Amino acid sequence: MDCYRIRTRLFLLLLVAFGKGVEDMVFLKVRWLQYGKATEFDLRILDGIHVFVLRQLKVIRLHGKAILERIEISTLGVRNSGVRVTAYNPIWHESFLKEAAILQRRFGGCVEQIHHVGSTAVPGLAAKPIIDIAMEMNRTGFDASMLSYREALTEVGYDYLGDRGQKGGHMFGKGLKGSRTHAIQVHPSDSTAIKELIRFREMLMEDMNLAREYAEIKTALADLFPHQRLIYVWYKTHWVEHRFLGKDIKHAWGLWLLSAQIPMMITILVRSVYERVAK
């Protein structure tokens, strides 16, 4: 690893440790000491971290730009907890269609729509070679039917990864030999999360400059943190969610973050240790 990558990696590690730590402390303060009511000071702190993170992502884009053209097409699959971004592969859409047909046969009338989402759904865009799928299930009786949905997805090879709330829905993953090839989000029909997933996919398809920026940032983060998916996701979340914020809303980032219920750092660390011990 050259000196630039070492310095950049160390700086970004310190930033995520500090930034995520402060975000978590503000969240706990608001939730437990202020009964859910954020002060102006709380929101300014969160907005300040967000702005600083976005500035650093602009800098590391240069690193991603330098290596983006060198990445190659690869087979499906990324090792659990790892990060790998590859060049666009036309078979990704074919893989989605094949998987969607299996899911449609298994669920029948219970599923309203099956969407190909994420970067592999955008032609020409570099991505982690994991097929991301969003399933819209009948809203009526959704919670009561979740156990049967879990059992049905287990039968076709998926593991249940937990409930990520409104942003991520019920998550499932499928893969081989420690690598994930497919990921499914299950939501009630017409949910806000489904709308955002589809909207972001359309934004990337319609704006080549936005797609290019996204590809450069992801490529840089994957190169710097190939074994730390949680760090990769934290930085990417700041970039992606910024695209959905109301530009005319004061403290838009801070308000969104406090409502998003993103897992705290200690929760992530405990989950990571548990998964390693379980293996």
Q: How many CA atoms lie within 13 A of 32 on its CB side?
A: 6
pLDDT at 274: 67
Mean pLDDT of the chain: 92
Nearest to 85 by CA among 97, 100, 107, 68: 68
pLDDT at 115: 98
Widest CA span in the chain = 56
pLDDT at 272: 67
- Above 90 in pLDDT, residue 278? no
Pair 189, 113: CB distance under 8 Å: yes
User: Residue ranges per domain, the chain?
Assistant: 1-70+228-279, 78-206
Q: Please enumerate, as own/partner, the contacts of 2-11 that have beta carbons within 8 Å and a separation of 24 or more.
A: 4/63, 5/63, 5/223, 5/224, 8/60, 8/63, 8/224, 9/224, 9/225, 11/56
Predicted TM-score (pTM) of the model is: 0.92
Least confident stretch, 84-93, 110-119, 270-279: 270-279
pLDDT at 260: 85
Q: Say which residue, 273 or 83, is predicted with more confidence.
A: 83
- Above 70 in pLDDT, residue 181? yes
Does the domain spanning 78-206 belong to CATH 3.30.460.10? yes
Burial of 173 (0-12, 13-18, 19+ CB in 10 A): middle
- Above 60 in pLDDT, residue 1? no
Would you list the DSSP string of 152-203? HHHHTTPEEEEE-HHHH-EEEEEEETTEEEEEEEEEETT-HHHHHHHHHHHH
Q: Assign 52 a pLDDT band (cuts: 50, 70, 90).
A: very high
Q: How far apart are CA 72 and CA 67, in angstroms?
A: 11
- Above 80 in pLDDT, residue 269? no
Supply φ then ψ for residue 274, to 5 degrees: -60, -45
| Beta-bridge mates of residue 187 | 136
Q: How far apart are CA 84 and CA 127, in angstroms?
A: 8
Mean pLDDT of 197-209: 96
Mean pLDDT of 98-115: 95
